[in-house]
Amino acid sequence: GTNFQLKPHSKIPKPQKPLLVVVLDGWGQAADDEYNAISRAETPCMDSLRESRPEKWMLLKAHGTAVGLPSDDDMGNSEVGHNALGAGQVVSQGASLVDKSLETGQLFNLDGWKYLEPAAKEHTLHLIGLLSDGGVHSRYDQLWLLIQGAAERGVKRIRVHTLTDGRDTEDGTSVKFMEQLQKDLKSLEGKGCDARIASGGGRMITTMDRYESDWNVVKRGWEAHVLGEAPNKFKDPVDAIKTLKKPKEAGGKPVSDQWIPPFVIVDDDGQAVGTIQDGDAVAIFNFRADRVVELSKAFEYKDFKQFDRKRYPDVRFAGMMQYDGELKLPKHFLVPPPAISRTTGEFLARSGVSTFACSESQKIGHVTFFWNGNRAAPFDSKLETFHEVPSDQNIPFNEKPAMQSAKITALGIEALKSGKYDQVRLNFPNPDMVGHTGDLEATISACSTVDKCVKELLEAVEEVGGSWLVTADHGNAEDMVQRDKKTGKPLMADGQPRILTSHTLNPVPVAIGGPGLAKGVKFRTDLKEPGLANVGPTIINLLGFEAPDNMVPTLLSA
Ligand code: 3PG
Ligand code: CO
C-alpha cells in the first residue's frame, strides 16, 4: 500500500498559519477586449497580483491534453480542472475513455452493455443525456456511435431523451442538433430499427440538476422521460424546440436552449411515443458525473424520497460511467471511469493537515468531490470540514451575479481566523455561472464582486500572517463572444455579436503570496507547459512537505 505520510520539505518549513487556496471558477486570462468581462470589470486586487509580481504570478494551461481531455481543441471545464488541481496528476478523463472504448468497439464487449443488451433487444433501449458537441458532459458523435452500435447488435427500438444545451455550446444550436439526430435516427429505419426522439427539455430546468441544488429539475425530467408527462406535447421534436424557443413576449429574446421547458413527443393519438416501461433498458449517455447523479438515484434506488416518481419501472439501468465510486452509483456502467487516487487531499489528510473547504451548492462538489479524485466523503472527518452554502433556486444567475459570494467570503475569513485549519479552500462560482448565461454586463459585475471578495480574503490572510494561492479552473468570463478561429474577430449574426456562453481554451492565472510564505519561495520558469495539475504539488510544498513522486512537478523554486 501507499505510505501517505508526507516528508517535511527540505527548505520550506511547515507554516504556523493557514494557507488560503482560492479557485475563481471560470476566470481565464485573455487580452483586454470589449467582450472580456474580466478586463472590463473593476479588478484592482487581481490586477495587483498580476502586475509587478513577476515571480509570484504565472499562467497555467487549463484545457485539452493538459487536463486529460482528448485533444487541445477541448475547452477546459470544472470537473477536469478541479480533478487536475487536486490530484496533482494528469488523468485521462471520461471523454477520452469513452472515445477509446467506442472507437475500438470495446464498449460493446464490456459488462455494462452485456447487462443492457437482452432488455434492449427484447424491449426498448432508452438513451438519456445532453444533446451537444461541447465535450463537457457528452458529445453527439459518441451518442451516435452508441446508437449505431446498438442497432448493429440487433436492438430494434430506440428512444432518445434529449436535454438541450446552449451552455457548453452556442445558444440556438439545439435546433441544429435536434435536426441532425432526427435525420440520423431516420436513417436506421431501413435497417429495421425504429429509433425516435421521445422527450426533452432545457438542461437547466430538466433533469440535469447538480449537488441537489433543486430536485424539481430532476422531477420534471422523470415526468417527461419516464411517464411521458409534460406541459408541452408535440409530434415533432424540431417543431417542439423551435416553438418553445419563441420569445415569451413580442420583440423579446428567444428562450435560451438551457431553459427550454420540458416536452414530450406524441403520436397522432396524443400518446407519448417513448415512455419507459418495465423490462426496458435505460442508459445515460453523459460521461460527466455531477449533473446525472440525481437522475441515477431516481432510477436505481427502490426507496427514493426526493420526489414522488408516481411509477417506478423495473428496468435495466446503466450510466455511461460510474458516476460515484463510493456509492457505486450506478451499479452498471458502460465504460469504467478514470481511477484517480493518491491525490493531494488524501496525502495531506493522512499527514495531519486540517482543511476547511467551502463553496455554494452549485460548486461545492467541485472543491470537495472533484478535488479529491471523485470522492465525496472526507478522508478524515476529524481533519476536514466541507461547508455548503445553499445556492439560489429558480433564478438565472445573471439576475443575481453576486450569488452567495459574500457568505463564502465571510465563512472563509472566519475559518482563517479560527486557528482551526491549516488550509482554507474556497471556490467562487460567479465568473463561470454568470458567464454561462451569456449576459456580458452581469458577468462584468460578477467579476468585480469576486475581485472584492479576494481582496477581503487576502487582507484576512495578511492579518493572521498566513499565505495564499489564488488560481482558477478554466476560462469562461474572459471571452464572451464567438470568434473567427483564424482572425480572432468576433462572429456576427444579423448585425449582433454571437455570444459565447461556454468555457474557453484560455490559460488561467495562478498567484502566491502572503506574510507566511517562506523566504525565497517563487515560481520557477523552467517548466515547458505548466498546467493545473502542477498546482497540486505546489500546495503540498506550501504546507511544508515534499510532494510525492506520483505527481507532476511543483511550480515552486525554493
Ligand atoms: C455546467 O455543468 O454547468 C457546464 O456544463 C460546465 O460548467 P463547469 O464545468 O464550470 O461546472
Ligand atoms: Co462552467
DSSP string, 516-544: TSPTT-EE-S--SS-BGGGHHHHHHHHTT
Question: Which ligand 1 atom sits closest to the C-alpha of 168?
Answer: 5
Other CB atoms within 10 Å distance of the CB of residue 183:
10
Between the CA of 323 and the centroid of ligand 1 the distance, in Å, is 16
Task: Take atom 2 of ligand 1 and give the residue whose Cα is closest.
Answer: 291
316 DSSP assignment: E
pLDDT at 337: 86
DSSP 84-146: HHHHSS----HHHHHHHHHHSSGGGGSHHHHHHHHHHHHS-EEEEEEE-S-SSS--HHHHHHH
Cα–Cα distance, 455 to 463 (Å, whole number): 12
Between the CA of 434 and the centroid of ligand 2 the distance, in Å, is 9
Tell me the C-alpha to C-alpha distance, in Å, between residue 228 and each of 22, 159, 204, 236, 498. Answer: 44, 12, 19, 15, 35
Buried b (16+ CB within 10 A) or exposed e, 526-558: eeeebbbbbbbbbbbbbbbbbbbeebbebbbee
- Angle among Cα 150, 152, 153 to the nearest 5 degrees reads 65
What's the CATH architecture for 95-319? Answer: 3-Layer(aba) Sandwich (3.40)
* 531, three cell numbers: 498546467
Q: Please name every residue paired with 499 in a beta bridge, in sequence order, or none if there are none.
A: 481
pLDDT at 157: 98
For every residue of 388-453, which 3-state class applies, written as one string? EECCCCCCCHHHCCCCCHHHHHHHHHHHHHHCCCCEEEEEECHHHHHHCCCCHHHHHHHHHHHHHH
Distance of CA 237 to the CA centre of its chain: 27
Tell me the C-alpha to C-alpha distance, in Å, between residue 451 and each of 137, 189, 318, 474, 509. Answer: 29, 56, 42, 17, 13
Between the CA of 397 and the centroid of ligand 2 the distance, in Å, is 12
* 509, three cell numbers: 492565472
* 275, three cell numbers: 415512455
> Which 3 state secondary structure label does DSSP give 360?
strand
Q: Is the CB of 167 inside a 6 Å radius of any atom of ligand 1?
A: yes
Give yes or no for a contact between 217 and 179, defined as CB atoms under 8 angstroms apart.
Answer: no
Cα–Cα distance, 539 to 21 (Å, whole number): 8
Q: Which ligand sits closest to the CA of 366?
A: 1
Domain ranges for the chain, please list them: 19-92+340-484+497-513+530-545, 95-319
Amino acid at 286: N
224 DSSP assignment: I
Cα–Cα distance, 316 to 134 (Å, whole number): 28
**Ligand 1 test: best mutation among 432, 437, 501, 508, most atoms within 8 Å of CB?**
432
Q: Which ligand sits closest to the CA of 136?
A: 1
| Angular region, 150: left φ>0, alpha ψ -120 to 50, beta rest | alpha
Cα–Cα distance, 303 to 298 (Å, whole number): 9
Q: Is the CB of 502 inside a 6 Å radius of any atom of ligand 1?
A: no
Question: Which ligand 1 atom sits closest to the C-alpha of 25?
Answer: 10
Please indicate whether the domains covering 19-92+340-484+497-513+530-545 and 95-319 agree at the CATH topology level.
Answer: no
Q: Is the CB of 99 inside a 6 Å radius of any atom of ligand 1?
A: no
Closest to 240 measured CA to CA, from 272, 211, 288, 209: 272
> Which 3 state secondary structure label does DSSP give 164?
strand
Q: Is the CB of 74 inside a 6 Å radius of any atom of ligand 1?
A: no
Topology at the third CATH level for domain 19-92+340-484+497-513+530-545: Alkaline Phosphatase, subunit A (3.40.720)
pLDDT at 552: 98
Cα–Cα distance, 166 to 174 (Å, whole number): 7
Distance of CA 529 to the CA centre of its chain: 23
Give yes or no for a contact between 510 and 470, defined as CB atoms under 8 angstroms apart.
Answer: yes
Closest to 137 measured CA to CA, from 126, 129, 149: 129
Cα–Cα distance, 536 to 84 (Å, whole number): 8
Between the CA of 181 and the centroid of ligand 1 the distance, in Å, is 23
- Tallying the residues shown for the chain, one arrives at 558
Place of cell 430532476: 218
Catalytic residues, by residue number, are 78
Cα–Cα distance, 430 to 400 (Å, whole number): 10
Helix 440-464 × helix 405-418 angle, to 10°: 10
Between the CA of 429 and the centroid of ligand 2 the distance, in Å, is 8
Q: Is the CB of 82 inside a 6 Å radius of any atom of ligand 1?
A: no
Query: For the chain, how long is the longest CA-to-CA vector?
Result: 77
Q: Is the ipTM of this complex over 0.95?
A: yes
Give yes or no for a contact between 305 and 317, defined as CB atoms under 8 angstroms apart.
Answer: no
7 DSSP assignment: P
Mean pLDDT of successive 10-residue segments in the chain (558 residues)? 93 98 98 98 98 94 97 96 98 96 97 98 98 98 98 98 98 98 97 97 98 97 98 98 96 96 98 98 98 98 97 98 93 93 98 98 96 95 98 92 98 98 98 97 98 98 98 98 94 93 97 97 96 98 98 95
Task: Take atom 11 of ligand 1 and give the residue whose Cα is closest.
Answer: 78
Q: At 531, give phi and psi (nearest 5°).
A: -135, -175
Amino acid at 186: K
> Which 3 state secondary structure label does DSSP give 199?
strand
pLDDT at 417: 98
Question: Which ligand 1 atom sits closest to the C-alpha of 363?
Answer: 11
Task: Take atom 8 of ligand 1 and give the residue whose Cα is closest.
Answer: 78
Between the CA of 77 and the centroid of ligand 1 the distance, in Å, is 6
> Which 3 state secondary structure label does DSSP give 233?
strand
